[in-house]
Amino acid sequence: MTTNGTKSNGHTALDFKSFSNTINGKLVGTKKTQHNINPSTLEANPEVPIVSEEEVNEAVNYAIAAGEKWAEVPVKERQAAVVKFADALASYKDDFASMLTKEQGKPLMFAKMEVDSGVQWLKTQAAIEFPEETVEESDERVVVTRYTALGVAVAIVPWNFPIQLACGKIAPALIAGNALILKPSPFTPYCGLKLGELAQHFFPPGVVQALSGDDSLGPILTAHPGIDKVSFTGSTATGKRVMESCSKTLKRVTLELGGKDPAIICSDVDIKATAPKIAQLALLNSGQICIAIKRIYIHASIYDEFLAAMVEAVKSFAIGDGFKEGVYMGPIQNKMQFERVKGFLEELKEKKLDLAVGGDMKTVSDVGKGYFVTPTIVNNPPDDSRIVTEEPFGPIFPVLKWETEDEVVRRANDTLMGLGASVWTQNLETASRLAKKMKAGNVWVNTHLELQPNAAFGGHKQSGLGAEWGLQGLKSYCNAQTLYLRKK
Ligand code: NAD
């Protein structure tokens, strides 16, 4: 950064004080505005626009025109532009991270890691080879399948990973030759709007637009006849509404939805090393991760010892404002979600389920006035209790006892969700046998939550439809077109 407010690569520096929509290359404010609340302090963050339906229509028209030209730009140039955009994001790492902690609540260390992931998700997807496929080459004819841009894509992003999930959609949409409209969650609009603003330095007007609105914006976009594709990440309930709305115009749709990931802990694990890891993976981002561990099946022979080691680990995690040094868990991101998590806790107490640790709300005197919840482990609740069947999306999870492989596989798969699953054992044969039986889109052995931008990511069952990232993700922003070229 230079002192005159410009970045060293020449473009005007972003400020993180005022926030606008980006429409056709221009920053646009609105008369009506809203703001979110910093979930750690309950103080108001800056105002953001509430886009009108008229402006949405304008943005879509600009996107249609810009998309047609962008699709003509050679793919190498589109990839190079995405890489430059990624470099610019990296140069603003501290600003984005600090805004992310203010709007989302996650500890600054993890906010910085999210910016790094955003950069990585942009760059790695820009490096994926995207060739035409020759299906047949004979004396008579050539048959080639190529992948062409759809037109205008919309990225609908939730509030748990506003930067990484946006970047995960921006890269493939643009590389495939589409224009993109980014719609951040009204709970976390700030970083998404700044990504839109920053993108203007690397893409022609109308290719990337970012719109902040109220709850009517998502449905307006999914119903809009000028939009060709919706990539949605959010809850399963909303995903179903998105699909229903998209069906009216047969929009292409990718859905990344909720999860209820099981982790199966076998009897031969190193308890001291594994138990704290499992607790960390269940409580990262205060449990607000689609692929967080949400059910822990521990073999009966080590159950008590493993649970005790987890409880010890959980008690050591510092909770508090994300700007405080050493904090591992921030608050729940918004009031609505906080009330939902509280509802789970109240029900656990009503049903007199055994809590191995936690069960209370952190109070003002403990950590501040934000939406804080103490991490809570529910000890061996019935399989049909809500904490086992539903996703609380907060720092509460059940541990369950298992005895035979057939039984644990059946119980782990006994859910409408199918996003992730993991198996923990030193015996790789057991690991492979159990892992292959998991009905989930992402299966890990001796780890969980490890993702990479060049591998397809998607959920089975009601955890999603289609996949993002990797070559499969790129193709999801395209039409397949097969050319049958007869030589004579
Ligand atoms: P949500 O479904 O409430 O909202 C997600 C986004 O959809 C927001 O931008 C919201 O404004 C928008 N939206 C709301 N109603 C809409 C409608 N009718 N039409 C179009 N858009 C609409 O989800 P959330 O509470 O923000 O996120 C938490 C959920 O997301 C959890 O269930 C979590 O598991 C899931 N999630 C899934 C993944 C994944 O990749 N599978 C990743 C992160 C989060």
How far apart CA 151 and CA 64 sit, in angstroms, is 6
SS3 for 383? coil
SS3 for 375? coil
Task: Please give the single-letter amino acid code of residue 261.
Answer: D
Confirm or reject: Cβ of 185 under 6 Å from ligand 1. yes
The distance of Cα 360 from the centroid of its chain, to the nearest Å, equals: 28
Active site residue 256: yes
Environment class of 476 (CB within 10 Å of its CB; exposed 0-12, middle 13-18, buried 19+): buried
Residues 246 and 387 in one domain: no
What was the pLDDT predicted at 94?
98
SS3 for 43? coil
Angle at 160 between CA 297 and CA 29, to 5 degrees: 170
Residues 246 and 333 in one domain: no
Q: Supply the pTM of this predicted model.
A: 0.96
Kind of pairing between the strands at 141-149 and 478-486: antiparallel
Among 61, 56, 72, CA closest to 178: 72
Domain of residue 475 covers: 2-257+462-484
Domains held by the chain: number: 2
Best substitution site from 290, 419, 461 to test ligand 1's pocket, by max atoms within 8 Å of Cβ?
290
Q: CB–CB of 257/239 below 8 Å?
A: yes
Q: Give me ligand 1 centre to Cα 238, in Å.
A: 6
Cα–Cα distances in angstroms (integers) from residue 187 to residues 212, 381, 384, in the given order: 10, 33, 32
How far apart CA 130 and CA 474 sit, in angstroms, is 8
Residues 103, 114, 197, 256: which is the catalytic one?
A: 256
Confirm or reject: Cβ of 391 under 6 Å from ligand 1. yes
Query: 148 in a domain, yes or no?
Result: yes
Structure tokens at 60: 């879509």
Structure tokens at 221: 């976009």
Residues 123 and 111 in one domain: yes
Residues 217 and 293 in one domain: no
What was the pLDDT predicted at 131?
85
Query: 309 in a domain, yes or no?
Result: yes
Structure tokens at 61: 């028209």
Confirm or reject: Cβ of 417 under 6 Å from ligand 1. no
Residues 300 and 376 in one domain: yes
Kind of pairing between the strands at 376-379 and 396-402: parallel
Confirm or reject: Cβ of 234 under 6 Å from ligand 1. yes
Structure tokens at 458: 């998607």
Confirm or reject: Cβ of 209 under 6 Å from ligand 1. no
What was the pLDDT predicted at 369?
84
How far apart CA 15 and CA 21 sit, in angstroms, is 14
What was the pLDDT predicted at 2?
40
Residue 133: CB atoms within 10 A of its CB come to: 11
Confirm or reject: Cβ of 267 under 6 Å from ligand 1. no
Residues 293 and 396 in one domain: yes
How far apart CA 214 and CA 393 sit, in angstroms, is 22
Residues 173 and 297 in one domain: no
Residues 127 and 185 in one domain: yes
Residues 466 and 400 in one domain: no
How far apart CA 481 and CA 250 sit, in angstroms, is 17
CATH of the domain at 398: 3.40.309.10
Residues 247 and 364 in one domain: no
Q: Give me ligand 1 centre to Cα 68, in Å.
A: 29
Q: Give me ligand 1 centre to Cα 243, in Å.
A: 13
Q: Give me ligand 1 centre to Cα 408, in Å.
A: 30
Query: 12 in a domain, yes or no?
Result: yes
Among 389, 334, 387, CA closest to 358: 387
Query: Any residues with CB less than 8 A from the CB of 101 and at least 6 apart, and which?
Result: 107, 108, 111, 322, 323, 330
| DSSP states along 259-281 | --EEEEEPTTS-HHHHHHHHHHH
Find the helix or strand (DSSP H, E) in which 179 lies.
strand 179-183
Query: 457 in a domain, yes or no?
Result: no
Query: 469 in a domain, yes or no?
Result: yes
Mean pLDDT by groups of 10 residues along the chain of 488 residues: 48 89 97 96 97 98 98 98 98 98 98 98 96 95 97 98 98 98 98 98 98 98 98 98 98 98 98 98 98 98 98 96 95 96 95 93 68 96 98 97 98 98 98 98 98 98 98 98 96
CATH of the domain at 88: 3.40.605.10
Residues 253 and 269 in one domain: no
Q: What is the DSSP letter of 9?
A: T
Query: Any residues with CB less than 8 A from the CB of 319 and at least 6 apart, and which?
Result: 327, 328, 329, 330, 362, 366, 367, 372, 374, 375
> Where are the strands (E) in 358-441, listed by range?
376-379, 396-402, 420-424
Residues 140 and 270 in one domain: no
